[in-house]
Structure 1
């Protein structure tokens, strides 16, 4: 695992897997970590020739978890990712973002759009208001979530058998999880959806088959966005069907 020190001396940690084809940067969802979610996905033959960057966002996974020097907003996650890719001195990128990571990916792509060859999202947040889990997290005050909401969420995951997300949550800072959720609910102006539609790059949106039907399916296609479906999977498709997710990403690259 490699390190990149941000201007505020916080350390971003990531895997940089070699390959001769255009790099793909993977951005994970709330309470997750790319180092946990995507190793099996990126090992599949369709992606193995790409350089693959698996980033653990600040507050998650193996990256630093500051309590005073970072606000955990979607916009500021995107800002330091711009600093990070500038440090890597790569002229072209494919960006993949899942769930909350999709919102981060959209703002990140907007900041570096001249370098983005493709933007691939899987069940990403496109609008303000959040999703089921971010709304649940944000229903607590920050102090209550840190005091007892975090442990309640972890116990719920364990009791429901969602042990993979429980493992990821246990390596995330409670403050970060809560502030990420609040930022998702707040959204941005223009919306992530509007920015996504406006970006002049190849765009794909991926669903797990268990998440369908979804009213956005036709809406996205009407905006000339390629839609892919990963069979036998729901929202957590990287865990549920990594091989088919890798194939969907590869088809999106062309």
Structure 2
């Protein structure tokens, strides 16, 4: 396993990689050591077209989160990780990859955090490998078939069309902050991920999340309300925390608010009435 060391003068960190047994591709992640050796390791999974560093690096250093060792994982097809063409990029497959990473690193009982597509992957991982996950927090994950504002237009195109024209068109149409992240995503991976999100899983992510027998929470942006999925989770007994002054892109729109809501969710606090 290769490791590239950096030092930001206040705390060391590493960009790490692991060659996967099945695909032989490399998955890569940022490893932030934290300053509390007794805290559970936290694993962060990004959304569709994004990277772990763009979504979470500016969040994990905030008060309430910086103590734990944090793994900011670039899922296969995104960011620094490899882009294998023989990989399906479905949520269950990405969850298997993250599970292999944790198994090979000897890590158990993590705090697992996922946003959007990353939340869908996180739910699959927690359901399939409960030994790896102690607590789960998902931020507006894809819970049911149908896709979302970003995945649906991508999935409506054929893979060949999206690779040939759609990816470039998507870059031109998106806001600069999202376009900068999408530019780092492999078009094939992006399309196959979007198709998988539209098709959903069986059982659905919503069913799996409500059945989990460990602490879990759902984060929703204030501007995303009314939100049927958040309301459904609340009715099912899943704690729902609202991120103020933010919509789906809550990590960029209000990182302080996201960090505060995540800290409260991980601590087992009760949502505001």
TM over 0.5: yes
| Equivalence for 1:141 | 158
Give the SS at the match of 1:114.
coil
Q: Residues 208 and 230 of structure 1 are in contact (CA less than 8 Å); yes or no, is this contact kept in structure 2? A: yes
2:60 to 42, 50, 71: 42
Q: Residues 82 and 111 of structure 1 are in contact (CA less than 8 Å); yes or no, is this contact kept in structure 2? A: no
The 1-side partners of 2:98 and 2:145 are apart by 21
The 2-side partners of 1:221 and 1:187 are apart by 21
Return structure 1 stretches of 4+ with deviation > 6 angstroms. none
Q: Residues 91 and 120 of structure 2 are in contact (CA less than 8 Å); yes or no, is this contact kept in structure 1? A: yes
Give the SS at the match of 1:95.
strand
The 2-side partners of 1:90 and 1:205 are apart by 24
| Equivalence for 2:241 | 228
User: What does residue range 199-214 of structure 1 map to in structure 2 within 5 Å?
Assistant: 199-214=212-227
CA deviation after TM superposition for structure 1 residue 115, in Å = 3.2
- 2:79 equivalent to 1:61: yes
CA deviation after TM superposition for structure 1 residue 114, in Å = 2.6
Task: Extract unaligned runs of 5+ from structure 1.
Answer: none
Give the SS at the match of 1:14.
strand
Task: Extract unaligned runs of 5+ from structure 2.
Answer: 1-14, 268-273
CA deviation after TM superposition for structure 1 residue 9, in Å = 1.6
The 1-side partners of 2:206 and 2:216 are apart by 12
Q: Deviations over 1:212-247 (max 9, x none)?
A: 111233321121111111111111111111111111
The 1-side partners of 2:230 and 2:54 are apart by 28
Structure (1/2) with the larger helix percentage: 1
Aligned residues between the structures? 249
The 2-side partners of 1:253 and 1:128 are apart by 27
RMSD (Å), alpha carbons: 1.0
The 2-side partners of 1:115 and 1:130 are apart by 27
